[in-house]
Amino acid sequence: MVKLKNYNVSVSYFVLFLTFLATVSCKQQKLFVSRIEGKEIGIVKEQPQDTTIEAFIKPYRDHIDQDLSAVLATAPQTLDKNGQWQTTMGNLFSDAVMLKGNPIFLSREKKSMDIVLLNFGGIRSIIPQGDVTARTAYEIMPFENSLVVIALKGEQIIEMLDYIITEKKAHPISGLTFTIGKDNKPKDILIQGKPFLPSQIYYVGTNDYLANGGDNMNFFKKGIYKFDLEYKLRNILIDYFKDVDVVPIISDIRINVEK
Amino acid sequence: MKRREFIEKTAATTALVGLGLSMSSFKSASKHLTILHTNDVHSYIDPFPPTHPKNPSMGGVARRAALIESIRKENPNVLLLDAGDIFQGTPYFNYYGGELEFKLMSLMKYDLATMGNHDFDNGIDGFHAQLPHAKFDFVSSNYDFRNTVLNGLVLPYKIFNKDGIKVGIFGLGIALEGLVDKKNYKETIYNDPVGVAQDMARLLKHEQKCDLVICLSHIGYQYKNEPDKICDVKLAALTQDIDLIIGGHTHTFLDKPTVLKNAVGQDVLVNQVGCYGVNLGRVDFYFESDKEKLAQGKSIVV
């Protein structure tokens, strides 16, 4: 009797046990993180390629290569970013913006730029001696920045010159020349060859990044008008290279230092 | 919850009573999830040239694809993620506007991505125009796209079920003002990442009962010169219920994930793998369903 009773108890436990098992496995189990392993895998040259992916990329690459490799002009010698106050790269870039931007500004707004000011740091590459291609333009100007013209009062032009003097960088300028006096103040300011008039409004071409106060060019934020010409600086360079057969070495002095 | 705990306790008691069978050998399931991730690939589709001063011969999508495929063969439970700035950096983007980037990521079977500031470079319309090429979703929880073309197209979060492992992933983007031209982001509203992250993590962990919560972030790893600026390292410490933060934006090359403590003293992993597709990040999570097996605690091997 006793024996039988015990047996029955065992069976009932076993049934209970199976039921529990079934219940647990039907529900989503709560999972606990037991171990985490983290690492960085370098994509090295020994890593084999996926041939399907490579074949997929090829037509895109070939099209770009063909396009970018077309020779647009020739550089008789290397243009670089060497120079305290002006560089051959900066002079070329700012002059190209003036030259290619003005017809657009004129046709849209019936106005002309007086000055072009870009930033030294925005020139990302030099132009090596030899063939100049669209790839060169991409290397100089990989960003998508476009040309913006800001109307500045005379007061802001002086702020701009003070900024250049304080920064001591060869920010590319076109249409403007001046001398840094012994007192570290700008003098002999000529805009489009004419003496600077504090009461006049000047149209300054720059890029959208600087126009919004980039590189602390805060004087641009005080502009009274802003015209977005929607002309990418890179395209300006490409169009400029297409116009000239030979890339000029422009080394005139735009910022003089009084001795 | 309560019911399950009760069942576990009862079952354990039953086992002790007389059957002498280990419950865990029946009930415990070991699962393995592999998270693979990239960030700031910036349209780098081809490897760097051998002459490159920093990353000679590194990177390339065709190689990354093969590497991902070999990892999938080893463990089919893979989630492949990207933390933003897919766009901008090579002529591929200038020529095709992101089409090739999205198509290649789709071929590699990316599961999810978040948006970086450069993904707005052709405007929110430029991004929208390329979306049909992406066979994966985008998540962003703190950008409010309600008044833009992306309304309803970018998700606040997404839940994946991989072999019974429930993984909740949400996205965080960086402050756009001053970084992205207003004409590009238009009426996108940026909300504070900390509050949004906490809400998302709570929702995913407690309401949706995810086993793992991942934050795909483009807010940046850390800003040494701007200690007040929100970043992944600060986010990890200020929140709870996030298991892993996959970051981007600052192009930070971490040799291994950083292990930090969250607001309640639990471990959070933060990882970022530099930029330009030079590296692939890999984080493996091993799960047990039996709490008993975790008596010795979880181990983090980095």
Q: A7 CB near a chain B CB, below 8 Å? A: no
Paired sense of beta strands A255-257 and A225-232, if any: unpaired
Residues in chain A within 8 Å Cβ distance of B302: 36-39
Out of B12-16, B116-120, B185-189, pick the least confident: B12-16
Tokens 């291994």 sit on residue: B256
Q: For chains A and B, what is the number of CB pairs under 8 angstroms? A: 198
% of residues, chain B, pLDDT over 90? 79
**A170 Cβ contact list (under 8 Å, min separation 6):** A81, A83, A84, A85, A86, A87, A90, A120
Paired sense of beta strands B78-82 and B112-113, if any: parallel
Q: Residue A92 pLDDT > 60, yes or no?
A: yes
Whether residue A45 and residue B57 make contact (CB cut-off 8 A), yes or no, is yes
Q: How far apart are CA A154 and CA B282, in angstroms?
A: 58
Whether residue A38 and residue B104 make contact (CB cut-off 8 A), yes or no, is no
Q: A222 CB near a chain B CB, below 8 Å? A: no
pLDDT of residue B180: 86
Give B269's strand partners. B244, B259
Distance from CA of A94 to the nearest CA of B (A): 23
Q: pLDDT tens for residues B82-104?
A: 999 999 988 999 999 999 999 99
Residues in chain A within 8 Å Cβ distance of B46: 57, 61
Cβ proximity of B107 and B136 under 8 Å: no
Q: Please report the residues numbered 72 through 131 in chain A whose beta carbons come closer than 8 angstroms to any beta carbon of chain B.
A: none
Residues in chain A within 8 Å Cβ distance of B27: 21, 24-25, 29
Is B180 or A258 the better-scoring residue by pLDDT? A258
| Backbone dihedral angles phi then psi of residue B12, each to the nearest 5 degrees | -60, -45
Domains of chain B with bracketed CATH: 30-294 (3.60.21.10)
**Closest among B162, B158, B185, B160 to B174, alpha carbons compared:** B185
Average pLDDT, whole number, for chain B?
A: 90
Fill in the amino acid letter for A241. Answer: F
Out of A151-155, A244-248, B177-181, B254-258, pick the least confident: B177-181
pLDDT of residue A121: 87
Residues in chain A within 8 Å Cβ distance of B280: 40-41, 43
Average pLDDT estimate for A67-76: 95
Cβ proximity of B280 and B36 under 8 Å: yes
Cβ proximity of A220 and A210 under 8 Å: yes
pLDDT of residue A28: 61
Residues in chain A within 8 Å Cβ distance of B300: 35-38
Whether residue B287 and residue A34 make contact (CB cut-off 8 A), yes or no, is yes
Query: Which contiguous run of DSSP H or E holds residue B26?
Result: helix B23-27
**A76 Cβ contact list (under 8 Å, min separation 6):** A129, A246, A247, A249
Q: pLDDT tens for residues A185-239?
A: 999 999 999 999 999 999 999 999 899 888 899 999 999 999 999 999 999 999 9
In chain A, the residue whose alpha carbon lies closest to the alpha carbon of B31 is: A31
- The CATH fold of domain A65-257: 5'-nucleotidase;  domain 2 (3.90.780)
Query: DSSP string covering B152-220, please?
Result: TTSBSEEEEEETTEEEEEEEE----TTTS-HHHHTT-EE--HHHHHHHHHHIIIIIS--SEEEEEE-S-
Distance from CA of B36 to the nearest CA of A (A): 10
Average pLDDT, whole number, for chain A?
A: 90
**Could you say which of B58, B96, B181 has the minimum Cβ distance to residue A44?**
B58
Residues in chain B within 8 Å Cβ distance of A218: none
Average pLDDT estimate for B98-112: 98
Q: pLDDT tens for residues B168-186?
A: 999 999 999 878 888 899 9
**Could you say which of A24, A51, A68 has the minimum Cβ distance to residue B91?**
A68
Q: B86 CB near a chain A CB, below 8 Å? A: no
Whether residue A57 and residue B273 make contact (CB cut-off 8 A), yes or no, is no
Q: How far apart are CA A81 and CA A121, in angstroms?
A: 10
pLDDT of residue B295: 64
Q: Domain residues of chain A, as ranges? A: 65-257
The answer to whether the Cα torsion of B13, B14, B16, B20 is positive or negative is negative
Q: Residue A5 pLDDT > 50, yes or no?
A: no
Angle, helices A51-69/B99-107, rounded to nearest 10 degrees: 170
Average pLDDT estimate for A75-82: 95
**B249 Cβ contact list (under 8 Å, min separation 6):** B39, B40, B83, B84, B85, B116, B117, B174, B218, B219, B220, B221
pLDDT band at B225 (very low <50, low <70, confident <90, very high): confident
Q: What pTM did the predictor assign?
A: 0.77
Average pLDDT estimate for A86-108: 97
Residues in chain B within 8 Å Cβ distance of A54: 62
Whether residue B65 and residue A50 make contact (CB cut-off 8 A), yes or no, is yes
Average pLDDT estimate for A140-159: 95
Q: Residue B6 pLDDT > 60, yes or no?
A: no
pLDDT band at B51 (very low <50, low <70, confident <90, very high): confident
Q: How many CA atoms lie within 13 A of B89 on its CB side?
A: 18
Whether residue A57 and residue B293 make contact (CB cut-off 8 A), yes or no, is no
Average pLDDT estimate for B208-217: 98
Q: Residue A79 pLDDT > 80, yes or no?
A: yes
